[in-house]
Amino acid sequence: MNKIEKLSAKLDKNEAIILIKPENRRYFTGMTTSNGLLLVTSEQAWFFTDFRYIIAAKSIVAKPIIVSLFEGTHAATVKKTLHSLSEKIKRIYFEDTYLSFAAAKAFMEEMNDIEFVAGEALVSILRREKSQDEINLISKAQSITDASFADILDFIFTNKNRGITEKDIAFELEFNMRRRGAESLAFDTIIASGTNGAYCHAVPSDKQIKSGEFITMDFGACYGGYMSDMTRTVAIGDISEDKEKIYDIVLNAQLNAINNIKAGLTGTQCDAFARDYISNEGYGDAFGHSLGHGVGLEIHEGPNFAKSFTGIINSNAVMSVEPGIYLENNCGVRIEDLVVVKEAGVEVLTKSPKQLIKL
């Protein structure tokens, strides 16, 4: 079955689902628009958009999805379409974590004889298991990211004594990803040097890089709508033995996780492979975020490698593996790879070296 058929199969004959979230629409239609709605029943699917996109939609969106213009508001269009069906729709699933209260209220008031039920999980579960085509696009995005990392190492080494800043590095890195084919950035680039490394999601600043410090770089590219995500921490010149020890702990924790994660384990179990290692080394309080998250059309999507995620990680989930240690007023170290979870282990998509690099 194709993607839309799999979604239709989850619906009873008197049920429908409406999808407005751009990533969900792209997942099923292959098309990104600023305005659109996908309506799916157990028998049929419609993609509605406005005049700006209708010609492109007719050429991009594949059958059996019917492409049509909105007729009035989103709610009015859905109501008219459903009333034309021979089988009365009694229940509509909607994206409960995405749709605003006002938007949901508009649908409910327009169709007050229909029950509206939280249903985003119907789609998110489908999106967790990546097809080979999706994995190929993520791999391409990651290859752009890996190549750009090699570029930025050259840039930093060449310019490290010229007063370059975190912002300079971010700009150069983002330029390289675009130059190598990224259609956009996967997220706002994180560049954190020295004590700024203690901030997990530091914003690049005017701080100049200095010898004896770490630089943590967290960045990714978007290609074909799919994201990459990687983090590398490098040193400028020689660093203290304490900093090298912290780096080695993070690296070994990540390798321990990568060597043990496999399909069928829970997110909690996977998270523990790195968390327990870091805790045993005495830095458990300095690793405050989860081990990883799903990556696909969104940079953060399910499932998760986390203490709180007790669900099973299925085969072909694409996940980040990113332990870290963050020491206030000192430094931070994070190392992150993308992996494809398999029955026997993981396939690592990130190809950049992880042994400590000193520039």
CATH superfamily of the domain spanning 132-348: Creatinase/methionine aminopeptidase superfamily (3.90.230.10)
The backbone torsions φ and ψ at residue 125, rounded to the nearest 5 degrees and listed phi first, read -65, -40
Per cent of the chain over pLDDT 70 is: 100
Could you write out the DSSP letters of every residue in 45-59?
A: EEEEE-TTTHHHHHH
| pLDDT tens digits for range 198-245 | 999 999 999 999 999 999 999 999 999 999 999 999 999 999 999 999
Q: What is the pLDDT of residue 174?
A: 98
Q: What is the pLDDT of residue 185?
A: 98
| pLDDT tens digits for range 118-173 | 999 999 999 999 999 999 999 999 999 999 999 999 999 999 999 999 999 999 99
| pLDDT tens digits for range 61-76 | 999 999 999 999 999 9
Per cent of the chain over pLDDT 90 is: 99
Q: Which helix (H) or strand (E) holds 346?
A: strand 345-348
What's the CATH number for 3-127?
Answer: 3.40.350.10
| pLDDT tens digits for range 291-316 | 999 999 999 999 999 999 999 999 99
Residue 275 to residues 4, 255, 287, Cα–Cα distance (Å): 38, 12, 7
- Where b means 16+ CB within 10 Å and e means fewer, 105-132 reads ebbeebbeebebeebbebbbeebbebee
The DSSP bridge pattern shows strands 301-305 and 221-223 to be: unpaired
pTM: 0.95
Using the structure block, give the residue that is written with the tokens 């523990």: 272
pLDDT band of residue 87 (cuts 50, 70, 90) is: confident
| The two structure tokens encoding residue 167 | 């912002």
Give the SS3 label for residue 117: strand
Residue 1 has pLDDT above 90, yes or no: no
Report domain extents, the chain.
3-127, 132-348
Residue 86 has pLDDT above 90, yes or no: no
